[in-house]
Amino acid sequence: MRRRTARRGHGGGRQEVPRGVRRWGRSFTRRDVAVLGVLLGTTVLLDVLVVWGPALASVGLSFTSWDGIGGIGDIRWVGGDNYAHLVEDYPAFWPAVRHNLLWVAFLGLLATPFGLLLAVLVDRGVRFSRFYQSVLYLPVVLSLAVVGFMAQLLLGTDQGVVNTLRGNRNDPVDWLGDSRVNLWMMMLAASWRHTGYVMILYLAGLKAVDPALKEAAALDGANERQTFLRVTFPTLRPVNVIVGVITVIEALRAFDIVYAVNKGRNGLELLSVLITDNIVGEASRIGFGSAIAVVLLGVSLVFVVTFLVQELRGAREK
């Protein structure tokens, strides 16, 4: 492993620190070990208890049938039945999968590139760029519940701004109720927040790009677009990875906003909503809800693992 690091490190032009020096500070007294044990132990225990344990338990529960009311003894093993049922005769499942994928595509292909564009423009240091930056970022601090409500204000049927502007009060478009358009409106509202987030991340990345690189490119006669595409963008790789993961995860996690608008029904079905409905709702079909959760977990893990592999590779190259 370490030999490989040394070879990889070659391209970075940085020298590998000799092993003896790198391992400094590794001799611990008994008190050190106690402090480390208690504090690291608490963190790991909490993470296992709250995150990884439940995630694994969800996988287990997805093969069972349980109403959650009776004791744990009522849990019955049903094998893959939940999954079969999910795929074959749960009408909301495939629409929800489609909506989630659409959400990923919408954020990834529209909102994220738009955020990058805004970051590049703000980074050019025109006057008032601080003001622009603040305004564009402001939606990020809003709760999605509030965003959902604002969507109602703008898009509502009777007095909503958009319908008033269109001047068709007798035949208003039901932007949030009509299942042909409401998902798009929700994705627009989610993008409103997502764009600012992406912009800030890229802004930081752009600030860290060595200006000497751009100057060198300019000296070589590259125009602004070429400089960006060939020089700046490739050096943003670590940011690209993070933004990519945030985009996908945000899209898969989307919940609050549709829940605030109509509890995720009638065209706004998402996997997260189906899970909540099955588990918290009156039906309380916990095994079945967990099966949906596992599908979501699987999709998320694919992206998370890709991200971490990229991260680690990046860290090793340094």
Partner 1 sequence: MSADIRVPSRAGGPAPSLRSSGPPRPPRRGRFGVHLFLSAVSLVFLAPLLLAVLASLRPYEETAERGYFSFPEKLSFDHYREAYTASGMGEHFTNTLIVAVPAVLVTLFLAAFTAFAVARLDLRGGVALLVFLTAGNLLPPQVLVTPLYVLFLHVDLPWWMSDSMSLYDSYWAVILVNIGFQVGFCVFVLANFMRTLPKEVLEAAIVDGAGVWTRFWRITLPLCRPALAALATLEFTWIYNDFLWALIFISDPGKLPVTSSLNNLRGQFFTDHNLLAAGSVLVALPTILVFLLLQRHFVAGLTLGSGKG
Nearest CB to partner 1, comparing residues 87 and 246: 246
Q: How far is the CB of 24 from partner 1 (least distance, A)?
A: 7
3-state secondary structure string, the chain?
Answer: CHHHHHHHHHHHCCCCCCHHHHCCCCCCCHHHHHHHHHHHHHHHHHHHHHHHHHHHHHHHHCCEECCCCCCHHHCEECCCHHHHHHHHHCCCHHHHHHHHHHHHHHHHHHHHHHHHHHHHHHHCCCCCHHHHHHHHHHHHHCCHHHHHHHHHHHHCCCCCHHHHHHCCCCCCCCCCCCCCCHHHHHHHHHHHHHHHHHHHHHHHHHHCCCHHHHHHHHHCCCCHHHHHHHHHHHHCHHHHHHHHHHHHHHHHHCCHHHHHHHCCCCCCCCHHHHHHHHHHCCCCCHHHHHHHHHHHHHHHHHHHHHHHHHHHHHHHHC
Nearest CB to partner 1, comparing residues 214 and 265: 214
Q: How far is the CB of 179 from partner 1 (least distance, A)?
A: 22
And the tokens for 288? 């079945």
Nearest CB to partner 1, comparing residues 183 and 203: 203
Nearest CB to partner 1, comparing residues 106 and 227: 227
Q: How far is the CB of 183 from partner 1 (least distance, A)?
A: 19
Phi-psi map region of 295: left, alpha, beta (phi>0 left; psi -120 to 50 alpha) = alpha
Nearest CB to partner 1, comparing residues 134 and 226: 134
Strands, E assignment, the chain: 64-65, 76-77
Q: How far is the CB of 93 from partner 1 (least distance, A)?
A: 15
Q: How far is the CB of 78 from partner 1 (least distance, A)?
A: 16
Nearest CB to partner 1, comparing residues 187 and 296: 296
Nearest CB to partner 1, comparing residues 181 and 209: 209
Q: How far is the CB of 76 from partner 1 (least distance, A)?
A: 15
Q: How far is the CB of 63 from partner 1 (least distance, A)?
A: 13
Q: How far is the CB of 164 from partner 1 (least distance, A)?
A: 4
Nearest CB to partner 1, comparing residues 49 and 283: 49
